[in-house]
Chains A and B, each alone.
Chain A
Amino acid sequence: SYELGQPSSVSLSPGQTARITCSGDVLAKNYVRWFQQKPGQAPVLVIYKDTKRPPMIPERFSGSTSGTTATLTISGAQVEDEADYFCYSATDNNGGVVFGGGTKLTVL
């Protein structure tokens, strides 16, 4: 099991809104980050500090948190957003980072 829980998959049609959740006790005290990974490519950070979007990341990507649950929202998902998405955050045990198990987003 993972210290951060994510759904294994989410499927939707282009133009719909995707919501991917990440849950874990550490999220109540530490910032969550999300990265996108496509096959054979480097992971790309899409959200940091719970809600911040790095430069060059489309505005349709947004993040939110409530207690021990964080949500990555892709408003009007595009076919090119099809990828694996992972959340991660600091751990409370001796420092370091813990990860979610990843969510495979299918847009078709």
Chain B
Amino acid sequence: QVQLQESGPGLVKPSQTLSLTCTVSGDSINSANYYWSWIRHHPGKGLEWIGYIYYSGSTHYNPSLKSRVNISIDTSKSQFSLKLTSLTAADTAMYYCATVDDYGDSVEYWGRGTLVTVPP
């Protein structure tokens, strides 16, 4: 069973860049079985898929965020990371890493999430 743990700053200033890391355990980050995703949940609003990276390094991003997002993978550390630039208060959310993909035909795992606040 895959375990995922998010880490990063809880408070980021407007216009700055958010950097979050997800540490993977329980299975290899090099496994072809998973897409490593970032998802966020705005307080009192909906969930939003940000993007994912495959073990090969190929990525796919939400078109609405594509210009500000970069997801990378470090197989030596069993980690994948999210960078989101030009932050505004609208980016305040709980950020989750998960093994969510487009297919939905296998078991998926989620981290506990980390709250990121961007003050107005």
A interface list, Cβ under 8 A from B: 2, 30-33, 35, 41-45, 48-50, 54-55, 86, 88-90, 93-99, 101-102
Chain B residue at minimal CB-CB distance from A43: B110
Give every chain A residue within 8 A of B104 (Cβ-Cβ): 30-33, 48-50, 89-90
Q: Please tell me if the beta carbons of B63 and A99 are within 8 angstroms of each other in the complex.
A: no
B89-120 interface (Cβ within 8 A of A)? 96, 98, 100-113
**Chain A: interface secondary structure?**
loop
B46, CB-defined interface residue at 8 Å: yes
Chain B, residues 17-61, CB within 8 Å of chain A (1/0): the string is 000000000000000000001010000001111010000000010
* Distance, CA A70 to CA B98, complexed state (A): 22
From A42, A45, A48, A97, B105 is in contact (CB under 8 Å) with A48
Chain A residue at minimal CB-CB distance from B3: A42
Q: Please tell me if the beta carbons of A101 and B46 are within 8 angstroms of each other in the complex.
A: yes
From A2, A35, A42, A90, B46 is in contact (CB under 8 Å) with A2
Q: Please tell me if the beta carbons of A48 and B110 are within 8 angstroms of each other in the complex.
A: no
A41 with B107: in contact, given A90-B102, A94-B63 (CB under 8 Å)? Answer: no
Q: Please tell me if the beta carbons of A45 and B49 are within 8 angstroms of each other in the complex.
A: no
Give every chain A residue within 8 A of B62 (Cβ-Cβ): 96
Q: Please tell me if the beta carbons of B105 and A31 are within 8 angstroms of each other in the complex.
A: yes
From A30, A31, A54, A86, B47 is in contact (CB under 8 Å) with A86
Give every chain A residue within 8 A of B49 (Cβ-Cβ): 96-99
